[in-house]
Amino acid sequence: MRRIIPLFLLFFCLLTSNSLFSQLKYQEIGVNNAFLEANATDEATFLSPPPTCNAGFAYMASLCPTVSFFDQSTSGSAAVNSWQWDFGDGGSSNMQYPDHLYGANGTFLVCLTITTTDSCTSTFCDSIQIGCVLSGCDAFFSSFPSVNGCPSIDFFDYSIGNNGMVNNWAWTFGDGSTSNMQNPSHAYAANGTYLVCLSIQTTDSCTDTYCDTLNISCITPPTCNAGFQWTFGSNCPTTSFFDGSTASPGVVNSWSWTFGDGGTSNMQNPAHTYAANGTYLVCLTIATSDSCTSTFCDTLAISC
């Protein structure tokens, strides 16, 4: 027996099937569009890769403790336009190929950071060993008679600052005289053996002292001889005294008279009046410009 499907049910089924088919088609199209969009995005990423760069450097210490650094960084299509160096001892540089002077021995971590024109950055670090820095300082000098001849002596500084430079000199010549010159001259006043010392200081605060003995024997000792004469004339008991002293190489610059009766004088050629007859011991003591001293005495009889 055949079933008869009402016409309105058949029409409803057709409408429903068309709607489902449309939804499926739309869903398929949406999936395909999403796939295409994903492919388009992947293709764009592939065509525009992120910028790349790699910092790197080499160094050479042929003039140690000065080290030369060489940039060996690489980058993509962009160029490196910034270099930041850290030398591990507090020093830094913005140069591409810097030189750096190390002030002490040790191991230092050197780092280079680069930046490119497309904003890529990279850092590379490497350790460097410094062992050639000399520490300390050594004071030293020599001496020779000057062109003016002994006892004038020329001193020559031969001190060494192993790291810093010598910038301060302090001399003592052993006779109380001093100097702050690097290469001084000094004239000694007397023969003798003198301890000469030189103390130095460098720009890196190193200090050292060197001493040496210096023998001076070229000076002729000064000589002087006191002497005098006197005369009564017509004024006895007033007596006139006349200095007859001699000196070499200095000159007499001091006279000290005692007349034997308590009277004194500092004049070169004094006169003295005695109050009573008698025999008096008159003495003259002289001193010269080169510190020579001499005394001469003679007796004087007053009977007028």
Domain range annotation of the chain: 53-130, 137-216, 223-302
Give the pLDDT confidence score for residue 198 in this predicted structure.
97
Read off the pLDDT of residues 112-159 as tens digits, 9 standing for 90 and up: 999 999 999 999 999 999 988 777 899 999 999 888 788 999 999 999
Domains 53-130 and 223-302 share a fold: yes
Read off the pLDDT of residues 102-114 as tens digits, 9 standing for 90 and up: 988 889 999 999 9
Give the pLDDT confidence score for residue 46 in this predicted structure.
52
Pick the closest to residue 243 from 269, 282, 280 (CA basis). 269
Superfamily (CATH H level) for 223-302: Immunoglobulins (2.60.40.10)
Give the pLDDT confidence score for residue 85 in this predicted structure.
97
Give the pLDDT confidence score for residue 247 in this predicted structure.
95
DSSP β-bridge partners for residue 93: 85
Q: Give the C-alpha distances (Å, rounded to integers) separating 182 from 144, 148, 157.
A: 15, 19, 6
Written as six digits, the tokens of 47 are: 């065509």
**Is 99 within 8 Å of 85 (Cβ atoms)?**
no
Query: Rounded to an integer, what distance in angstroms lies between the CA atom of residue 285 and that of residue 287?
Result: 7
Give the pLDDT confidence score for residue 213 in this predicted structure.
95
Pick the closest to residue 238 from 273, 289, 269 (CA basis). 273
Query: Rounded to an integer, what distance in angstroms lies between the CA atom of residue 122 and that of residue 114?
Result: 5
Query: Rounded to an integer, what distance in angstroms lies between the CA atom of residue 127 and that of residue 111?
Result: 9
Give the pLDDT confidence score for residue 286 in this predicted structure.
97
Give the pLDDT confidence score for residue 181 in this predicted structure.
97
Classify domain 53-130 at the CATH topology level.
Immunoglobulin-like (2.60.40)
Classify domain 137-216 at the CATH topology level.
Immunoglobulin-like (2.60.40)
Low-confidence ranges of the chain (pLDDT < 70): 1-48
Cα distance between the two ends of the chain: 205
Pick the closest to residue 122 from 133, 111, 136, 107 (CA basis). 111
DSSP β-bridge partners for residue 128: 108
Give the pLDDT confidence score for residue 48 in this predicted structure.
65
Determine phi and psi for 108, rounding to 5 degrees: -125, 135
Residues 6+ apart with CB under 8 A from 84: 92, 94, 112, 113, 114, 115
Give the pLDDT confidence score for residue 284 in this predicted structure.
98
